Amino acid sequence: MLTDFLLLFLLVFALATGWWLGRREKFRRQPPPGTLPELSKDYFVGLNYLLNEQPDEAIDTFVRALEVNSDTIETHIALGNLFRTRGESDRAVRVHQNLFARPSLSREQSERVQLELGKDFMSAGLLDRAERLLQELVNSPSQVGRSSQLLLVDLYEREKEWQKAIHTLSSSLLKENPRLHKAAAHYACELATELLSRNNFAAARKQLKQAQAFDAACIRATLLMAQLELQSGSAKAAIRLLLRIPGQDPSYVPAMLQTLVDAHLLLKQPRELASNLEKLLRDHSYTSILLHLAETLRSLDRHQEALEKVSHHMRQQVSLKGVDYLIDLYLDQAAGEERAHLITLRNLTRQLLEHKPEHQCSSCGFQSVQLYWQCPKCREWGSIKPIIGVEGE
């Protein structure tokens, strides 16, 4: 209700201001004594709607009544933007389309209104119409042109048109907006992922090199390059790439573990895998590393060593996943009533672990079971990382 009141107040004020400015020349002539200036009929109709608690009709009436001229164009733009921020994109479109149709606008004013109209269409989900308007503005040398490029990149990102998004990112735009380097790297990674799914290794490698050119610290590009090497049969090259990740960003060590395991298994090197996992665990106390190490030791028939490592680690840094796995290890040696009790405990830990989020966005706090490279909530790239603590790593 407060927002509606403020909007109506702004509309009434804008109408009165626009009416006054649009007719100020007439006021220079002294009106006959005892007479009042003539107000627009729509003004009184709008007031009537307002008094009868019909705010939607009042808003539409006041917008129609507000005269469009060089003095009121900013008011019209502001009103349209206010409608858009309130989620009323259809009304924002009507206001800005009414402005855009005016032949009296200067080129600068026309481009600005066109930009706002493009934002309206994006807000309304009419991305094809927004794209057409914004494409006409991207070559403008003004700030409108740069704003249009940014909006187009955002539009192509929403539509998953990764190549178009990269093509829209000019060098000047990247220089002005450093955060776009990270986004551009992920666009290239998205293209590489699609190519890898079709075993098009040469084209995928090209995209990943482009991703690294955009952002040398892109963990995803390193991980995908390792997966590419593994899929193409170069397991040793994959391992070398994977072992760089802890130095780039240790938060993503859990994300690389399965590929590291797969590469060593392809080479039939379980002992080398155990050695690499031991080194990783010394530097990074992630439960995921511990569990992969324990599984590797079990595959080498070193069951007792696996149990002792997990038990020792849980005493130092407890986690629900670790306790659940420790129960499994004890079950291997248990029998009778003891085994029944352990199964009951394991069922409880599995219930606690079921659907438990393992990752969290550092930007907005969104939590998820799986790793997303782009947060589904705030759309930030590379912000979701493993949760650390008893319920996580």
Residue-averaged pLDDT of the chain:
85
Among 21-25, 88-92, 114-118, 222-226, the minimum mean pLDDT is found in: 21-25
- Residue 26: count of CB within 10 angstroms of its CB: 10
Q: Are 375 and 364 in contact (CB under 8 A)?
A: yes
Give CA–CA dist 94/91, Å, rounded: 5
Q: Is the separation of the CB atoms in 343 and 351 below 8 Å?
A: no
**Cα gap 384→368, rounded to integer Å:** 9
Residue found under tokens 């992969």 = 292
Q: Nearest Cα to 192, choosing from 222, 215, 233?
A: 222
Q: Specify the 3-state DSSP secondary structure of 367.
A: strand
Strands 384-386 and 359-361: antiparallel
pLDDT over 60 (residue 65): no
Average pLDDT, integer, range 34-44: 46
d(CA 207, CA 366): 29
Dig out the tokens for 321 from the structure: 């996943």
Q: What φ, ψ does residue 261 adopt, rounded to 5°?
A: -65, -45
154's CB contacts (< 8 A; 6+ apart) are 122
Distance CA 15, CA 137 (A): 30
What's the CA dihedral at 199, 200, 201, 206 to 10 degrees?
-150
Average of per-residue pLDDT across 310-338? 89
To the nearest 10 degrees (0 to 180), the angle between helices 320-331 and 303-316 is 150
Over residues 149-154, mean pLDDT: 96
- On whether the CB atoms of residues 371 and 359 are closer than 8 A, the answer is yes
Q: How many CB atoms lie within 10 A of CB 163?
A: 13
Residue 2: both structure tokens together: 């407060």
Tokens of 263: 């590469």
d(CA 349, CA 319): 11
Q: How confident is the model at residue 78 (pLDDT cuts 50, 70, 90)?
A: confident
Stretch 193-221: mean pLDDT, rounded?
Answer: 96
116-148 pLDDT tens trace = 999 999 999 999 999 999 999 998 888 999 999
Distances (CA, A) of 45 to 9, 39, 381: 15, 11, 50
Question: Among the listed ranges 57-66, 233-242, 359-368, which one has the minimum average pLDDT value?
Answer: 57-66
Q: Is there a contact between 139 and 145 (Cβ–Cβ < 8 Å)?
A: yes
- At 240-271, the pLDDT tens digits run 999 999 999 999 999 999 999 999 999 999 99
- Residue whose pair of structure tokens reads 């009103």 in the numeric block: 79
Q: How many other CB atoms are found less than 10 A from the CB of residue 81?
A: 16
pLDDT at position 261 is 97
- How far is the C-alpha of 42 from the C-alpha of 19, rounded, in Å? 12
pLDDT for position 64:
61
3-class DSSP state of 254: helix
> By the 8 A CB rule, do 134 and 155 touch?
yes
User: Cβ distance 80 to 120 under 8 Å?
Assistant: yes
Confidence check: pLDDT of 170 > 60: yes
